[in-house]
């Protein structure tokens, strides 16, 4: 689960909950490399970018994704586009290709067993949200108590549901 959070003017987080490393890779690629929306890129560079590795309902790992993202060279303020690079080799080293336990799928809720304990030493907003507000597969925004699926309009879903 990728969580980007900000506490500047109000507490909010965006949760990207997926069961496959390639979904997170695709999401990062679309936000930082392929996006022409400089405001979106800048916003993400100014927020936390924590990848929480969850197996059997417990947090078993953490990757600060900002450690993998660089902006090569000096970029003038009037530049048309921030050139962002992601260290994909390091991403592959740090992010497990597969996890133990059942894989989360569309329509399923993330079942955290001890969020208060597992996230106590982090800046995550999960302990404020969960278990009162379930977090499901996909993308959701949490703003001071309210959780919505708003990001579907802002972000390209790396694993959309295809109805036949």
Name the average pLDDT for the chain. Answer: 86
In DSSP terms, which residues pair with 143 in a beta bridge? 12, 146
Task: Tell me what pLDDT residue 164 has.
Answer: 35
pLDDT digits (tens, 9 = 90+) for 87-106: 999 999 999 999 888 888 88
Measured distance CA(163)–CA(16) in Å, rounded: 21
Residue with tokens 């569309």, as numbered in its chain:
106
The pair of structure tokens assigned to 36 is 């022409």
CA–CA distance, 52 with 40 (Å, rounded to integer): 22
pLDDT score of 32: 87
Residue 76 predicted with pLDDT over 60 = no
pLDDT at 75: 54
How many other C-beta atoms can be found within 10 angstroms of the C-beta atom of residue 136? 16
pLDDT at 25: 95
Q: pLDDT tens for residues 25-57?
A: 999 999 888 888 888 888 888 889 999 999 999
Measured CA to CA, the distance from residue 48 to residue 5 in angstroms comes to: 5
The domain limits of the chain are 2-153
Answer whether 28's CB lies under 8 Å from 12's CB.
no
Residue listed under structure tokens 């890779």? 25
Question: Is 8's pLDDT higher than 90?
Answer: no
Confidence (pTM): 0.87
Arithmetic mean of pLDDT, 133-139: 90
């Amino acid at each position: 689960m990728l969580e980007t959070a900000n506490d500047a003017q109000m507490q909010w987080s965006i949760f990207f909950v997926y069961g496959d490393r390639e979904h997170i890779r695709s999401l990062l690629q679309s936000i930082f490399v392929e996006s022409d929306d400089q405001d979106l890129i800048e916003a993400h560079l100014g927020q936390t970018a924590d990848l929480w590795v969850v197996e059997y309902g417990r947090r078993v790992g953490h990757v600060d994704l900002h450690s993998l993202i660089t902006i090569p060279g000096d970029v003038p303020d009037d530049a048309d586009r921030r050139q962002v690079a992601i260290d994909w080799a390091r991403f592959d080293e740090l992010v497990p290709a597969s996890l133990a336990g059942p894989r989360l799928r569309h329509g399923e809720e993330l079942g955290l067993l001890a969020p208060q304990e597992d996230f106590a030493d982090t800046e995550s907003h999960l302990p404020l949200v969960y278990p009162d507000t379930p977090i499901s597969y996909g993308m959701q925004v949490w703003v001071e108590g309210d959780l919505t699926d708003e990001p579907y309009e802002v972000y390209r879903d790396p694993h959309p549901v295809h109805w036949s």
